[in-house]
Structure 1
Amino acid sequence: MVTVEAWSFGFVLLWFSTLSYYYPVHAADDTNSSLGASFIFGDSLVDAGNNNYLSTLSRANIPPNGIDFKASGGNPTGRYTNGRTIGDIVGEELGIPNYAVPYLAPNSTGRAILYGVNRLGLDIQIDFFNNTRKQFDALLGASKAKDYISKRSIFSITIGANDFLNNYLLPVLSIGARISQSPDAFIDDMISHFRNQLTRLYQLDARKFVVGNVGPIGCIPYQKTINQLNENECVDLANKLAIQYNGRLKDLLTEMNGKLPGSVFVHANVYDLVLELITNYKQYGFTSASKACCGNGGQFAGIIPCGPTSSMCDDRDKHVFWDPYHPSEAANLIIARQLLNGNTKVISPVNLKQLRNL
């Protein structure tokens, strides 16, 4: 799901926050199990279907989205990809038996929340988690609920991409933002706000955090199309902004690890993971890292989001991008496994399997 600001602009802002990867909130039926819930905070990359319940042009509950999602029989669920999200794959690999329930779905109450809930824009998401946190107390009792949240649950958060795409990089509307605020000042505000948001989650007993940085947003089909680039080019300004923000984000996570006792903030280097996939796509079995498999408009089918009237490639597992903004299931699978098992170059100080066992 995207941030609140992004929804107000409509379909253009559906970007995939680099792997700003968030995995779906799940939990085991047996609350004595070592597995807890996985709470996902972020954008459309990990939306499990909240867009189904929002008044917005940004919708993925229409075909052919979900065409390869076996759990739904190939029917759309609100996931912005042809199959599983990175969160779905991570949950499966960690041994979690069920997929996330969107926070806005009617069944996201009662014991269903023990499997996790997938939610909206970050400030509102934290407000909603505050409500969910109280439900955990009611379901498990205060002491057991605190243990379940703090010791056995993982909080996955990726923000930042939409802030750039909706401000500095959005055609026409971005001009005012660029004039009124420098990139340094804009990123200062982002980091300051994010520090407060992470602290709020800590105060609600979150302890295990996975934070993805901003991916190479200048390389998505939408950006390449509107800027009329060649196949092997990316938008330089977009990627420079991402790199600048990512440096500040890494410093922030180091700071938070030092000042919040008992917390573990894991840095997921989504930028390098995704750029590697785009740069060396042939080595990973892909035939295209520029063109959207499902979409319309321009050289890379990067203007109009995926829907019933879109053109769609036959070899969906050979495209890095499913639509103008989001990776295919095949790309999600590669990224998710790196986050699960990778070394400290891609995820540090521990990977997701190691974090689960802490």
Structure 2
Amino acid sequence: MAISSYTVALVVLLFDLSYFGKAANNEGLGASFIFGDSLVDAGNNNYLPTLSKANISPNGIDFKASGGTPTGRYTNGRTIGDIVGEELGAPNYAVPFLAPNASGKAILYGVNYASGGGGIMNATGRIFVNRLGLDIQIDYFNITRKQFDQLLGPSKARDYMMKRSFFSITIGANDFLNNYLLPVLSIGARISESPSAFVDDMISHFRNQLTRLYQLDARKFIIGNVGPIGCIPYQKTINQLSEDECVDLPNKLALQYNARLKDLLTELNENLPGATFVLANVYDLVLELITNYKQHGFTTASKACCGNGGQFAGIIPCGPTSTMCADRSTHVFWDPYHPSEAANLIIAKQLLDGSTKYISPMNLRQLRDH
């Protein structure tokens, strides 16, 4: 008995050592650190007292890892972050920072800090009561960063961060949808601040946030710009548009921000030695998908698969009482705000292997090996 338990202990120890060795020395992707909003939240909001939650059916109905039970992902299956990590060889999905199991070896392959309702600006998403803005997400990464020093030792941890890890940030849409464009909360801001002044504020905050991640040894960055938020089912429904129309103002604001973001990333690529900032052109990618949805095998790019209210089921978020479409793979949008897994797969494929039209200066497979 003593021998067998000794043997078991030895096997466990060897497994642990090989696990650490693999995580620290393998080629390919080390850890995937995901920051952002509900487009990439993998369940952080489950642990917050918030009005923005996706841990209710039928969200996650096609998420194989959970057997179709909701995980807090705001889609029917995998997020873009899940798909990209999988394709680049990460053995597990990045664990939500607030989840009880986000400690020890579980964090070696990545941590997800994203939060539904979160934005670049701290006031963004106040309507939801609680959410993690990007400043708080980076505070949380700082905690993870120290844990890596303890797990791998400071020198190996630094190397692992700089050479082997990805930092993807999908944020900005809520700064418009749930801040600047929200009449209840922001009427003051909109009277006192022009769109270009608000965008200036966002860029200035984002510059500081990205620089802070760089100071914590982040080197490989993927930054998504803001998509065509005037084309989501919610906006089309409340503005009573026809199938092929989008709301002008939100899209104009997104384009204004995106132009400034592009300049910011050029500036950071020049000024932060050793860093690579890759711009994911989500706006053009999603707009192309919406415009040419039939060529991609979809039957609609304006109606939410899961939702209620108005012509495009775009007013009430997806939940147990929502109507749900028969075939999720034929809808670009899962709910009034978020793409379906079928759309996420097409977007992720372009980010992984696409040309500089959608991802520049290199795609994500090239960035992994860079």
Work out whether 1:234 is the aligned partner of 2:232.
Answer: no
SS of equivalent residue, structure 1 residue 167: helix
Instruction: Decide whether aligned partners of structure 1 residues 84 and 231 sit closer, same or farther in structure 2, where only a CA change above 3 A counts.
Output: same
Q: Aligned pairs, how many?
A: 332
**Cross-structure match for 1:30:** 23
Q: Equivalences for 1:120-269 in 2 at 5 Å?
A: 120-269=132-281
The one-letter amino acid of 2:177's match is L
Moved more, 312-321 or 158-167: 158-167
Matched residue, 2:127: none
Residues 35-63 of structure 1: CA deviation (Å, up to 9, x unaligned):
21010110001111111101012111111
Contact 2:203 2:264 survives alignment (8 Å):
yes
Matched-pair contact (CA < 8 Å) for 2:23–2:30: no
1:115 partner letter: Y
SS at 2:240 equivalent: coil
Q: Alpha carbons of 1:106 and 1:29: their partners in 2 closer, same or farther (altered >3 Å)?
A: farther
Larger relative contact order, structure 1 or 2 (CA cutoff 8 Å, min sep 6): 1
> Are the aligned partners of 2:58 and 2:70 in contact in 1 as well (CA < 8 Å)?
yes
Matching residue of 2:75: 81
Q: Which residue, out of 339, 342, 361, partners 1:349?
A: 361
Candidates 43, 49, 56, aligned match of 1:62: 56
Q: State how far apart, in whole Å, the 1-side matches of 2:137 and 2:160 are.
A: 19
In structure 1, C-alpha distance between the alignment counterparts of 2:334 and 2:284, rounded to whole Å: 19
Contact 1:64 1:76 in 2 (8 A): yes
Instruction: Give 1:341 shift.
Output: 0.2
Letter of the 1:93 partner, please give it: E
Q: Is this contact kept in 2: 1:29–1:114, CA < 8 A?
A: no
Which residue matches 1:326?
338
Computing the radius of gyration from Cα coordinates, the structure with the larger value is: 2
- 1:95 alignment partner in structure 2: 89
Structure 2 SS opposite 1:143: helix
Q: Indicate conservation of the 8 Å contact 1:28/1:97, yes or no.
A: no
Quick check: 1:225–1:302 contact (8 Å CA) kept in 2?
A: yes
Q: What are structure 1's unaligned runs of at least 5 residues?
A: 1-26
Q: Among the aligned pairs, what percent are the same residue?
A: 83
Task: Give the partner amino acid of 1:31.
Answer: A
TM-score normalised by L of structure 2: 0.88
Determine the structure 2 residue equivalent to 1:18: none
State whether residues 83 and 328 of structure 1, in contact with CA within 8 Å, keep that contact through their aligned partners in structure 2.
yes
Query: Structure 1 residue 337 and structure 2 residue 330: aligned?
Result: no
Distance in 2 (CA, whole Å) between partners of 1:167 and 1:73 is 36
Unaligned runs of 5+ in 2: 1-19, 114-131
Q: In the alignment, is the contact (CA less than 8 A) between 1:28 and 1:114 conserved in 2? A: no
Quote the Cα distance in structure 2 between the aligned partners of 1:174 and 1:246. Answer: 21
| RMSD (Å), alpha carbons | 1.2
Provide Cα deviations, 1:65-85, integer angstroms capped at 9, x if missing partner: 010111111111111000111
With normalisation by structure 1, the TM-score equals 0.91
User: Are residues 44 and 135 of structure 1, via their aligned partners in 2, closer, same or farther at CA, if it must alter by over 3 Å?
Assistant: same
> What SS does structure 2 have at the residue aligned with 1:36?
coil
CA contact (8 A) 2:23 2:108 kept: no
Report the alpha carbon displacement of residue 99 of structure 1 after superposing the two structures with TM: 1.1
Question: 1: CA distance between counterparts of 2:21 and 2:349?
Answer: 21
Supply the distance in 1 between the matched residues of 2:167 and 2:257 (Cα, whole angstroms).
Answer: 21
